[in-house]
Amino acid sequence: MQTLIVNLSQENKLSYPIFIGNVLHKKIEKYLKNKTVVIVTDNIVKLIYKEKYKNYFENKGYRTHLISFKNGELSKNQKVKTMIEEKMLKLNIDRDALVIALGGGVVGDMAGFVAATYMRGISYIQIPTTLLAMVDSSIGGKTAIDTPYGKNLLGVFWQPVAVFIDVEFLSSLPGSHINNGLVEAIKMFITSDARAFTYVEKNIEKIIAHDPILLKDIITRAIKIKSRVISEDMKDYGARMILNFGHTMGHAIEFVANYKLLHGYAVGLGIVIESRISMMLGLLDCATVERIENVLAKLGISKKLLRNIKLNNMLNVIKMDKKAKKNNAHFILLNKIGSVFKENSKIAHSVTDEIVTKAINDFMRV
Ligand SMILES: NC(=O)c1ccc[n+]([C@@H]2O[C@H](COP(=O)([O-])OP(=O)(O)OC[C@H]3O[C@@H](n4cnc5c(N)ncnc54)[C@H](O)[C@@H]3O)[C@@H](O)[C@H]2O)c1
């Protein structure tokens, strides 16, 4: 069992461990002592893992409840949050209870938000079951639900007391969802860890074959980056923005594709186009853009994904992005692999409409 620490030195008591290895290990029992356990999950994860997890805690003598909701982003809403809270209230769950988020990013964001507001805040543990949740959403304490006005608009920062990561969950995860998480990990390597990116390049064939040893290695490397970024900027005021590389364009692509593309695939396309923007601004060399495109192409990130999607409205959509200021699109830009471009410590940069349009058109032409 490997242990990493999310070190929140500004508010040290909020620091927490990330355990990588078998979840059902004596380490988890430390967090369960004298606790009522509420496992929050979705119907798919419940179907596959309920027996193993609920039984484990029950057999150890913990009062254990399981509350589930329908899988998918559409459930990340106020109605489902209220349903979970009312079930917990009916069960007389008190402030000493422990919520366990067992699932992907949707479950993690929802269960974390429930834990944050239930009786003014109770403890929770993240047990991520998708690769995206392992490398990204389970760490950092961002909790949220979606609203009719936009995604993730209601939420708070509420750090888990621990995160347990077990690659075993990936054996049941569909391949497209593995790629979905791999893109987020590769994004972190591109912006922050050149050696990890080279490692991915060298081992790409085994990675796309989902070799568990390599996946575990990638998860560990990505978590180290995410934990470091969070330690520097727990509440997303500055340094954490680096994680948005590929996301200005990625969010716009998700929107114009009517959310039919998985987030990671849209971000993958965003990474390619934003790398091209960096090249057009003279920040990044052509050979590096090719390296990035080649790795992502192995995961199925290519312009073919945009077949039948009209891109002519992209500029307007990009300008709706949170980072757009004074009606100009803002992007995280690359200097080289492992380093983002900073100017006077600014991380997000304004780019003209002409360059953005040309980068999209050039990508669609190749
Ligand atoms: N809080 C954060 O910092 C943060 C960061 C990134 C993304 N997110 C959020 O994460 C969500 C996306 O997360 P996701 O990609 O994990 O999606 P998800 O939670 O919807 O999971 C994807 C699908 O995989 C299924 N699944 C989960 N684990 C499985 C397993 N082991 N085997 C088989 N099927 C399994 C789920 O039932 C679901 O159908 C979005 O809502 C996004 O906003 C949050």
Q: 63 CA to middle of ligand 1, Å?
A: 27
Residue 9, exposed/middle/buried by CB under 10 A (0-12, 13-18, 19+)? Answer: exposed
Q: 358 CA to middle of ligand 1, Å?
A: 33
- Which pLDDT tens digit goes with each residue over 327-364? 678 899 999 999 999 998 899 999 999 999 999 999 98
**Can you give the pLDDT at residue 322?**
55
Residue to probe by mutation, ligand 1, list 18, 39, 44, 261, most atoms within 8 Å of CB: 44
What percent of the residues of the chain are helix, what percent strand, and what percent coil, each to the nearest 5?
55, 20, 30
**Can you give the pLDDT at residue 328?**
72
pTM, whole model, 2 decimals? Answer: 0.95
Q: Distance of alpha carbon 56 from its chain centroid, rounded? A: 28
Q: 104 CA to middle of ligand 1, Å?
A: 3
Residue (of 61, 53, 62, 59) closest to 101 by Cα position: 53
The answer to whether 71 touches 43, Cβ cutoff 8 Å, is yes
**Can you give the pLDDT at residue 307?**
84
Distance CA 349, CA 338 (A): 18
Q: Which atom of ligand 1 is nearest to the CA of 43?
A: 37
Distance CA 79, CA 110 (A): 11
**Can you give the pLDDT at residue 319?**
78
Find all residues with CB under 8 Å of 213, minimum gap 6, and list them. Answer: none
Q: 289 CA to middle of ligand 1, Å?
A: 29
Q: Which two tokens stand for residue 220?
A: 């560990």
Task: Quote the strand ranges of the chain, DSSP E.
Answer: 2-6, 16-20, 37-42, 64-69, 98-103, 123-128, 145-147, 150-154, 162-165, 329-332, 334-336, 339-340, 348-351
Q: 134 CA to middle of ligand 1, Å?
A: 10
Residue 65: phi and psi, rounded to 5, are: -120, 150
Q: 288 CA to middle of ligand 1, Å?
A: 30
Distance CA 305, CA 313 (A): 17
Residue ranges of the chain with pLDDT lower than 50?
A: none
Place of tokens 């891109």: 311
The answer to whether 65 touches 102, Cβ cutoff 8 Å, is no
- Which pLDDT tens digit goes with each residue over 180-205? 999 999 999 999 999 999 999 999 99
- DSSP per residue over 219-246, as a string? HHHHHHHHHHHHHH-TTSSSGGGGGGTT
**Can you give the pLDDT at residue 311?**
76
Residue to probe by mutation, ligand 1, list 75, 137, 153, most atoms within 8 Å of CB: 137
Q: 296 CA to middle of ligand 1, Å?
A: 20
Place of tokens 């470091």: 228
Place of tokens 């000493």: 96
**Can you give the pLDDT at residue 236?**
80
Residues with a CB atom less than 6 Å from ligand 1: 42, 44-45, 48, 71-73, 76, 103-107, 109, 129-130, 132-133, 136-137, 140, 142, 152, 169, 172-173, 177, 180
Find all residues with CB under 8 Å of 77, minimum gap 6, and list them. Answer: 145, 146, 147
